[in-house]
Chain A
Amino acid sequence: MRRLLTFSLAASLTVFGVSCSNFLSSDKVKLDPNNPSTATANQLFVAVQGGQFAQQEGIIALIGCLWTQSCTGTSNFLQTLEKYDIASEDTPSAAFSSIYEGGGLVDIKQIEAAETAAGDQQYLGIAQVWEALTMAVAADIYGDVPYREAAGAVATPHLDPQAQVYSDLQALLSTAITNLGGAGPGPGPLDLVYAGSTSKWIDAAYTLKARLYMHTAETATGFDATALNSAVTNALLGIKSGNDFKSKHTSAPGEDNLWFQFFDRSGFGQYVVAGQNLADLMVARSDPRLPQYFGPASPGPGFGGQGPPNASTKSPAGVSTLTGTRNSPTFSQPIMTYIENQLILAEAYFRLDGNASRAQAPFDLARAAVPMPAKPIATVNDIMEEKYVAMYQNIEVWNDYKRSCYPAITPITTASGGAPAAFGGKVPGRLYYGTTEQNANANVPDRSVQNQVGGNIVTTPPANAGFRNPNDPNPCP
């Protein structure tokens, strides 16, 4: 017995006692066994597309929908957001992170580096257009944002002035267009938007350039003809009919349309209904897109919406949910379209000419694509109305509002917690920087500063001018 015991002790000492130099440091215990430590450009590219589809369909688009009164939040955080109460909500912060983190700029830069090294200019060009699209959201929504130092070696990147970001993006898109004409082979079928078609990508890059020129066209005294002319030049080379830049989804969870996820999976979808402003407009226009956008109103018949804030006004038919035919897991959300491109042309022409002479043709093309019958343009609002309806669920609706003040909505005044006063009684023109960025980056001004100077840390606008970005010098009513 004693021998057995001695043996057991000796055996266990042998097992444990012998110096195991890598017991604490072998790869098995040091390296995460659950996740890869390297990724190829192709793998990153797939994730970037998934991430940026989600970004384009995400919370910013929803906030834009609420604030331009295309939809209405009836309860929970949706109602809070509806009332411009973004201070107490962390939800929008996720959108700021999505610009830069995994599936965003940090991965796009890795793809660009890999394809530069590989000499695949087409792939590089496509990645650069994605970069421009991603960073355009940043500049449009947050104004001055980290860009030149972002997702690189700098621990706390500085904010770049919004105008500089826009001009950097114009330059980047020009480079991308050059690259797209260069050597391939490109991503091929991994490209979920255009399956590697460089000509379609070049068109999309021009449309994006045109869009961004429109974003820089507003000045304190009117519209800048140079920017408008640049928008025209680029839009003329923009997306052709049938070649819309759209997201791609499958019915698998996590690969499905984010609006669908919101309505069917989040549990909060029930708190957003059709906005009376958009629903009534579309009913009045007999717009064929009504059943695409909305479900039947209750009690019906037909379609209708809820006015903001909740329970104040309703369409005659009652209120529709947002469960039109678009509410499908596989619905490809339009991000940049032929119709948008035509309406950019129309708006730029109209603002340059002060009349419909050049604007009418692209306007009619846009309506024909719906299809809607031709209609003479009376004011620029006719063009903006067309765009407001067409760009439903797109972030661009909010950007258009900031420039054109269309639709002529009344900002919510019964908001909780003094929010209208905080934003000068206006529809906010921007969002606060993400809370994590605010917390960890000393270059980001306090919210109080953001409130006072509209996010532009250089120029101080007049008090109560609203909460806006530098590219939006004029308040809406």
Chain B
Amino acid sequence: MQVTRSRVVPIILSAFLALPALLAPYGSTGLAAQEPVTITGKVTSDAGLSLGQVEVAIPAMGLGALSREDGRYAIVVPGARASGQTVTVVARRLGYKSQSAQVTLTAGGVTHDFVLAANPLQLGEVVVTGAGTSMPAEQLGNVRNSVSADLIERANEWNAVQSLAGKAPNVIVTQSSGEPGSGSYITIRGSRTVGLQNSGSAQPLIVVDGVPIDNTSFSTTDFNPTDGLTAGSIEGTTQSNRAADINPNDIESVEILKGAAAAAIYGSRAAQGVVMYTTKHGKAGPTHYSLRSSTSVNDINHTYPLQRSWGQGLGGAPPGNCNGSAGPSNFACRTSWGAAIPAGTPTYDHADEAYVTGYTSDNTLTVSGGNDRTTFYLAGGYLRDRGIFVGPNNLNQRATLRFNGTHRVSDNVKIGANMAYVDARGNYIQRGNNTNGLQLDLLRSPPDWNNLPYLAANGQHQSFRFQNPQVTDGNKSRGWNNPFFTLNVPQNTSNLGRIYGNVTAEFVPATWLKVNYTLGADYSNDERLEGAPQSSTPPTTTGRVTEGKLINYQIDHNLTATASRTFGQDFSGTLTLGQGLNTRNVRQLANVGRTLIAPQPFKLSNTVSRDVPIDAETVIHDASYFGQGTLSAYGQLYLTAALRNDGSSTFDQNHLRSWFPKGSVAWEFTKAIGERPVLSYGKLRASYGEAGQEPDPYLTSTIYSGITVIGGYTQGMGANPTQSGFGGLASSIVKGATSLRPERTKEFETGFDVGLFREKADLSFTFYNAITSDVILLTPLPPSSGYEREAKNSAKFRNRGYEVSLNVRPIQHADLAWDVGLQWASNRSLVVNLGGPQFVYLDPNNISPRVAVVQGQEVGVFYDVGLAQCGISPAGMGAVVPGFDLATNVPNDATHPCGGASQGAYFIDASGLPVKDNQQRVIGNPNPRWTGSVRSSLRFRKLQLSGLLDIRHGGQMYNGTRAALYAYGTHKDTEVRADCSGATCVGNMHAIGAPDSPIQGPVVGPGAGTPIPIGENWYTDIGGLFGGTPAQFIEDAGFVKLREISVGYTFDEPWVQRTIGFSSVELRVAGRNLKTWTNYTGYDPETNLGGSVQSSRGLDYFNMPQTRSFVFSLTLNH
């Protein structure tokens, strides 16, 4: 039997249709007979602060209310249910210890005030642990990392993934760029897989309200395999990640399941960890209205260093004819190696001219409330992010609707629904490794060329390589576009409609048994358009339209039953049994049309010819069973054990199911030894777990392809299998795998959590060691075998690290409070084994340097060629210095070229130039040495001040932009240059290796110490992109970033209510990414060419800049 959409949809629909009826006021009769009883009071903290948002409830009656900002609450007990009895009233709020009181419901009303003690260690709080399970925080056997709504709100990020940046140790979030709609990529505790392209599988599983959702990123360029041969996702536009469809304002809390021990409950999808978002829910009590409105002003956070002294040309001379189509074929028009620009000649600020101030507005209105039977939360949000680039095409809009409701059908049955609708629309700009990309067009512009106007008087597109176009030049390549043409004319859009959510039912047949059922669905339709106008750079010179659709539908079913039992007074335990089914279907429908008939519109119908269409689908079915048992002994020792059995259609026929066990122990040793003034709380914990990673679907099929192009060697090239009207098929270059199991991470984790100085401070320490075996690689095969790759469970990785967090609360008074949080984490990955090949590229399509897994190295190192260096160059440099192997350093052998040289010395040839290796080696590592953050907040009465520093230490970036701008002579570093107007270059003499030279460090060889001119000769050759090596452009990408800083004030005095009718008004001024301290010389060390699409990290090639923002927000509560 197959689960099909047609069977599941009616169930969801019927559940939803039933909702309005369920939400009708419960028990509308019999209330008028008796007087209601009102319980009123005030909630304050033990420091004397009025506490808002405290849930005060009578659990037995299902009644409750939320306290307002002044701490006051009121619960109305209907007269029919009040008979003078004594009830238990409980007050609870995150971050405080909950408290209960006995209150007698006497006619006329009663008053009870609560004073809540701070609970910085979150003891007693129930933590969602995934797949329908939960447990109190102190019982967790693994480190807990949660992020509260407060922290999400203060981050002021539009993207729910980006909001997590700097919030938890070893949770590294990288935003692709500062463009509106730009995706964010998340890694937890290092890379445990290589992540096959576009699968998103190198990232954690994202779960919203208990249901896994789609968080893929897809580049529209991948709809165009013909032109995208080497491009993939490193050109085209930025792309969002689909978890960005969550409105951060709807988030109540986030739990991050780090490591296999925590995530094992998600089995074969959890090897990279799990991020679980819980959205806000209504609480019983008066209806709350809240409007949060924020506006931010954004600008570029760093302008690119460009020279403005030398004009267009070559060899110190003007370029000659750059008019019309003579320009692109005249090499001298390309570069800024021309003559010195005479004083008084206008130059143009290409570093700054393409930017404007961007504005973001983000408004969310929520209405929530409920009664003893029914709660609801209804929110509507609209985000409009107008980016920092000139022109109409950088705009991200997101409208979100959310309805969360629960209804208690009877005393033991509760049903609920969490539903979200998203309308996300993005307008993007071409970027990256792309001659139609903005930064490439912009930063290569000679300083003496005015990019404006981008259209000549006759309406034709003009650029510095194609000046004075004629009206007949409409279909000719401009060499490179005018950047303002790139900003204004092409159209790149993504329009997505998505609905996701779930219906739930909770059934308590007996006091010891609870049954939970969740049926979730996630459906989206993403329509993409890439319209490249006529006169663009090849391959789109005559115009091209790519139109495509991504349709994604997922259904998730999860049924759990939990039994609880106490054994005597010292032991208690729970047993959960569960079952899950999951189906994921993806459809891709796309067409590429070439040669526009009329310049507009960008429609397939307006093109002369069409490529082979894309018409692809994938289906994945998962089926699982799991069980989890917990046992607590003497109120201090907690044991958890779980076992999951997962089946997936992506495994091969002989390995359809896999087991994933976990076990943990936590011991609150302070309960045994007693609380001490210094050590007020202490817990030791240890856990072990296994989690897996499914392969991509269909890797076990041996197939023939009718669409994969053959024989091309650079983008836009290749032959189709079909030719001249005859259908053709070629063997796929990927051989069908004969055996494929899930990747499996076995992780041991241990650590402690302690409360210090009467909980004025708490400290948490964790060590983990994760071995990932059976890592699936598209293992290279010898092409001579007939195939290029085969998916194999072949590699073994290790990730090992430490995580420390320390929170200190030195001052906690009613009027003044100050706290500081420090986090530090390190992760070292190691490729233990690759199962055969010497290296495997992470993404088969990429620029140089290639990013690879190499045995004995960290995952994802840069693997490419460098300059010849003693002791570093791989064996085989014998060809450079005949007869000698530079890899073997022989300090005392005077006859050896490296004799006496220090390790790493550059080999300099007789002319004074360094020489290149001809073999690939590890030339850099993008993984940071350690990461950390410092958070502090200060409250003085109702004024709050907070800030977050995000620190990434170490880790490298390939600055390909610099390499290219060196070659084109526009980089600031090329401003001081040798005079190359004669037969040879003269002046600006530097000896390679010297501190003032382009390459510093020890040198050796016949030309060591010989000064050479540094100018066009150097930068267009071995000193730049086209003659040099990637190793020369690897830079330190560590940074300290002022992620957040904010000042807020809350008005909740009675006059606020009287004059404007709101219970409280909060005003906040915040800054986001205001300052970055870094040695990185590009735009920003937080960037990645492959965005959130590719798993390779650390590449910058004409990436878009990052932004900084000032945010003004106003929150009105009623």
Contact = CB atoms under 8 A, between A and B. Distances in A.
Interface of A: 1-2, 4-5, 8-9, 11-13, 15-18, 20, 22-26, 28-40, 42-55, 58-59, 62, 74-77, 79-80, 83, 85, 87-88, 90-92, 94-107, 110, 145-146, 149-152, 154-157, 189-190, 192, 248-255, 258, 261-262, 264-270, 273, 298-299, 310-311, 319, 321, 416-419, 421-422, 434-437, 439-441, 444, 446-449, 451-452, 463-464
B2 A28 contact: yes
29 contacts: A1-B409, A8-B14, A9-B507, A11-B11, A17-B579, A20-B1, A30-B698, A30-B701, A36-B729, A43-B729, A47-B729, A49-B723, A74-B331, A75-B967, A79-B1026, A80-B1026, A87-B865, A96-B783, A254-B720, A262-B717, A269-B538, A270-B538, A416-B1027, A417-B1029, A421-B879, A436-B780, A437-B783, A440-B836, A463-B882
B471 to A, nearest CB: 21
Contact of B331 (A2, A103, A261, A311): A311
A437 B706 CA distance: 25
A216 to B, nearest CB: 22
Given A34-B616, A46-B721, A417-B1022, A103 B878 contact: no
A418 B623 contact: no
Given A37-B701, A47-B728, A87-B916, A448 B875 contact: yes
A378 B313 CA distance: 45
A348 B420 CA distance: 79
B329 interface: yes
A189 B723 CA distance: 12
B715 interface: yes
Nearest to A262: B717
Given A43-B728, A80-B1027, A31 B334 contact: no
B8 A439 contact: no
A154 B724 contact: no
A32 B616 CA distance: 10
B715 to A, nearest CB: 6
Contacts of A46: 721-724, 726-729
Contacts of A26: 2, 649
Interface in B396-426: 409-410, 413, 415
Contacts of B1022: 416-417
Interface in B503-556: 505, 507, 517, 519, 537-539, 541
A418 B916 contact: yes
B15 A254 contact: no
Interface stretch (B31-39, B196-204, B730-738): B730-738
A171 to B, nearest CB: 20
Contacts of A273: 329
A299 B2 contact: no
A79 B539 CA distance: 20
B478 to A, nearest CB: 11
A152 to B, nearest CB: 8
B733 A101 contact: yes
Given A12-B517, A101-B733, A437-B782, A264 B710 contact: no
A435 to B, nearest CB: 8
Contact of A20 (B2, B837, B850, B909): B2
A103 B710 contact: yes
Given A25-B656, A105-B786, A145-B784, A418 B915 contact: yes
A107 B733 CA distance: 11
B227 interface: yes
B617 interface: yes
A250 B1022 CA distance: 41
A83 B1027 CA distance: 9
Nearest to B1023: A416
A154 B785 contact: yes
A121 to B, nearest CB: 22
Given A46-B727, A254-B611, A254-B719, A101 B787 contact: yes
B546 to A, nearest CB: 12
B22 interface: yes
B315 interface: yes
Interface string B914-942: 01111110000000000000000000000
B424 to A, nearest CB: 27
B594 interface: yes
Given A13-B559, A157-B784, A270-B479, A264 B617 contact: no
B496 interface: no
Contact of B701 (A4, A31, A152): A31
Contacts of A16: 3, 557, 559, 579, 581
Interface string B314-345: 11000001000010111110100000000000
B560 interface: no
Contacts of B519: 12
Contact of A102 (B505, B617, B705): B705
Contacts of A80: 1026-1027
Nearest to A29: B649
A2 B559 CA distance: 18
B410 to A, nearest CB: 6
A261 B718 CA distance: 8
Contacts, number: 426
A123 to B, nearest CB: 14
A454 B1013 CA distance: 35
Contact of B2 (A23, A75, A103, A310): A23
Given A36-B704, A265-B227, A55 B711 contact: yes
| Tier of interface size on chain B | 35 or more
A24 B648 contact: yes
Contacts of A25: 649, 653, 656
B697 interface: yes
A255 B1029 contact: no
Most buried by B among A262, A266, A463: A266
Contacts of B517: 9, 12
Given A254-B720, A264-B538, A270-B477, A103 B711 contact: yes
B627 interface: no
Nearest to A323: B329
Interface string B786-809: 111000000000000000000000
Most buried by B among A16, A419, A422: A16
B621 A24 contact: yes
Contact of A35 (B705, B733, B786): B705
Contacts of B882: 421, 463-464
A319 B329 contact: yes
Nearest to B588: A34
B647 interface: yes
Contact of A38 (B538, B581, B704): B704
A448 B876 contact: yes
A17 B238 CA distance: 42
B1021 interface: yes
B709 A5 contact: no
Given A8-B11, A36-B729, A253-B609, A150 B786 contact: yes
Nearest to A449: B876
B269 to A, nearest CB: 15
B785 A23 contact: no
Contact of B717 (A79, A90, A265): A265
A157 B609 contact: no
B612 interface: yes
B1027 A54 contact: no
B721 A24 contact: no
A54 B712 contact: yes
Contacts of B878: 448, 451-452
Most buried by A among B18, B721, B727, B839: B721
Contacts of B557: 12, 16
A251 B709 CA distance: 16
Contacts of B618: 33-34
A258 B717 contact: yes
Nearest to B657: A24
Given A267-B539, A270-B479, A101 B649 contact: no
A103 B730 contact: yes
Nearest to A145: B784
